Amino acid sequence: MKYIFLASIVAVTLLELIFIMQLLKSRLFKKNKEYHFCNKKKNIVHIIAAIGVLCVLYGYFIEPYWVEVKYVTINTNKFADFGVRVVQISDIQSDTVIRNEKKLAEIINPLNPDIIVFTGDTINERKALKNFKSALTNLEARLGKFAVTGNVDYMWFKDLDLFSGTGFSDISNKKVVLKSSFDEDFMLYGMDYNETPSNGLFDKDANNRLYNIFLYHTPDLIENVSKYNLDLYLAGHTHGGQVRLPFYGAMETFSEFGKKYEMGEYKVGNTTLYVNRGYGLEGGIIPRVRFLCRPEITVFDIMPIGATRLGTYAKDNFKRDINNYIQFVMVGIIVQYIPILIILIIRAAIKGSLSKKKSLMIAVVYFLPVSYIYYKAFMDNPRLIVSIVIVSIGIYFLFSFEFKKKVHRE
């Protein structure tokens, strides 16, 4: 299906480019004056292309910055009292361009985690190490912060000290016993990306009574380690596909299981596997986009059977998501139509069909109240605003010319 989708994108893009080139040729070189940029068949291509452009703008400028905090409740008989709160982050993959790194502490610290775990893939380029470390350093957890390395770290950055000064302990190929708030022990295992379960880290019979959490970068070991007494296996790596199609899901996961464990929660034997969608973006030549696959921070409330820990966190997160959605819609509408409205008002004022008094009234009633939102949006993401303004003005003039031509013919 993904190849059909990609072929369709290429076909629509080529058709739209051909139509635009033909339009420019007819305008600039005065050839084929009767060329019609819009008709019933061409409009279908124009609409699909416009939707594609909007999806690209959304995937590049909006969704990568729209972080979701996902809550997972796990009940177990291995805790008699309160249990623990574990916050997982994965695949930060910092670039020299700062994206969500500054938000990380603002989101996680108010969650009051007992432990924070990072499941690998730190940076996309060496110069970004400072950004990555700065993001991790500001995180706070009562019992500690723990990390393992990922495939990107293993292949490209083995010579770098990735976690020094961040407060994170690299527990690759190690196990740590921790105590919950009520002095109940639980075990944390970590494994380096290049290792396998045969390295002696696990003991089948040693920790039946403890709650065991396993950190590994990919979900690829789940069907091997589920025979051990692991209660929770936390992984990342797949990014949830990073670009997902409706009714299909991840286009690519880079996992040996393909789409089988692409994101979210799975039960394999007695082990709960959770695959985090990641916080950052793939590096290299892969486009820095997300679509239908928001960056994720996962909060695990592990507690006794029958217990619930609701608090206000989930409610606050829901409110924040609603507010973010409303903000994106408002900014999108304002930025899309302000340039066109300005052009229309200027043209009307010049032609005399709009008085100066009415122009001033429109400016006061409409433009001034939204100027702050417009300014704030520009400060947060200037490239998004500039791109939408250019596209809006371009679309306006294209269809304006076509409309004038149609009126003239009639």
Q: Comparing 26-40, 103-117, 235-249, 332-346, which segment has the lowest mean pLDDT? A: 332-346
One domain for residues 123 and 203: yes
User: Is 194's pLDDT higher than 90?
Assistant: no
| 246 exposure class (CB count in 10 Å sphere: 0-12, 13-18, 19+) | exposed
One domain for residues 298 and 318: no
User: Is 358's pLDDT higher than 80?
Assistant: no
Last residue of one domain, picked from the residues 309, 338, 354: 309
Residues 226-236 have a mean pLDDT of: 92
CA distance 336 to 370: 13
User: Is 239's pLDDT higher than 70?
Assistant: yes
Q: Which pLDDT belongs to residue 34? A: 64
One domain for residues 158 and 111: yes
User: Is 310's pLDDT higher than 80?
Assistant: no
Q: What percent of the chain has pLDDT over 90?
A: 46
One domain for residues 112 and 197: yes
Instruction: Indicate the average pLDDT of the chain.
Output: 81
Last residue of one domain, picked from the residues 309, 339, 368: 309
Q: Comparing 44-48, 111-115, 242-246, which segment has the lowest mean pLDDT? A: 44-48
One domain for residues 225 and 321: no
What is the domain count for the chain?
3
Q: Which domain holds residue 180?
A: 67-309
Q: What is the pLDDT of residues 367-387, one digit of tens each?
A: 555 555 555 555 555 555 565
Confidence bin at 41 (pLDDT 50/70/90): confident
Q: What is the CATH number of the domain that holds 161?
A: 3.60.21
Tokens of 244: 């997902």
Confidence bin at 38 (pLDDT 50/70/90): confident
Contact 104, 112 (CB under 8 A): no
φ, ψ of residue 232 in degrees (nearest 5): -140, 125
Residues in Cβ contact with 23 at an 8 Å cutoff, skipping those fewer than 6 apart? 35, 37, 398
One domain for residues 129 and 275: yes
One domain for residues 239 and 196: yes
Residues 353-384, buried b or exposed e (16+ Cβ, 10 A)? ebeeeeeeeeeeeeeeebeeeeeebbeebeeb
Confidence bin at 314 (pLDDT 50/70/90): very low
One domain for residues 300 and 389: no
* Beta-strand relationship, 211-215 and 144-148: unpaired
Q: Which pLDDT belongs to residue 233? A: 97
One domain for residues 283 and 352: no
One domain for residues 329 and 408: yes
One domain for residues 333 and 409: yes
Q: Which of 329, 242, 249 is CA-nearest to residue 288? A: 242
One domain for residues 111 and 248: yes
Last residue of one domain, picked from the residues 263, 284, 309: 309
